[in-house]
């Protein structure tokens, strides 16, 4: 059984990818970065989701000698030219301050009419092998932005993105409903044939 490392300490992400691999009949053992506490976190210096995912995956593969998966994701707003994009987690200037990020984005879009509030969540997932082999896949969840946050599930910008074809925001969906349509779920599922090709 090949051990595969996911470059995260987020237990939810590990559980999600583990389930996707199992559903696909892949026997690989998936562990998180916590299994290798001596490996330092990687600075996300790329200018695209794909570059950041590859940076993290390659660093982990080099440090451990094992195949590694990493992802990077964010919210892309059409009228802002794709911003906040890779800066989603630190849009307000403080990394990971969900409320400040959300408040700033809503203030920036306050005068924007509903017809121009299209946006999508994007996720790039990368697989890197110790020999330098790499693959990147992407997933998207398209929708539009509400004027006020609604719902208590999820995190980040979930309370304002209403997926296409739904009347609820991502923060009003159950975890199961969200995983079925999420950008990360789509990217991780797109990774399955890549894992099968490169790792058997």
How far apart, in whole angstroms, are the C-alpha atoms of residue 7 and residue 61?
10
Sheet hosting strand 29-32, strand order edge to edge: 29-32, 3-6, 68-77, 118-128, 134-145, 161-163
| 5 phi and psi angles, rounded to 5 deg | -110, 135
Other Cβ atoms closer than 10 A to 146: 18
| 42 phi and psi angles, rounded to 5 deg | -100, 135
* SS3 assignment, position 28: coil
* Active-site residue list: 72
* SS3 assignment, position 68: strand
């Amino acid at each position: 059984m090949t051990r595969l490392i996911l470059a995260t300490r987020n237990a939810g992400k590990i559980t999600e990818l583990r389930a996707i691999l199992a559903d696909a009949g892949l026997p690989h053992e998936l562990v998180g970065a916590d299994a290798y506490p001596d490996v330092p976190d990687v600075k996300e210096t790329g200018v695209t989701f794909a570059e950041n995912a590859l940076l993290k995956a390659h660093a982990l593969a080099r440090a451990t000698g094992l195949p590694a998966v990493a992802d990077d994701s964010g919210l892309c707003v059409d009228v802002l030219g794709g911003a906040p994009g890779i800066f989603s987690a630190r849009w307000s200037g403080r990394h990971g301050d969900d409320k400040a990020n959300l408040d700033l984005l809503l203030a920036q879009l306050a005068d924007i009419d509903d017809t121009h509030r299209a946006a999508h969540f994007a996720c790039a997932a990368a697989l890197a092998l110790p020999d330098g082999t790499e693959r990147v896949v992407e997933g998207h969840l398209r929708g539009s932005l509400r004027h006020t946050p609604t719902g208590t599930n999820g995190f980040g910008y979930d309370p304002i993105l209403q997926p296409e074809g739904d009347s609820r925001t991502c923060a009003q969906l159950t975890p199961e409903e969200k995983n079925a349509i999420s950008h990360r779920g789509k990217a991780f599922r797109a990774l399955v044939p890549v894992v099968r090709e490169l790792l058997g």
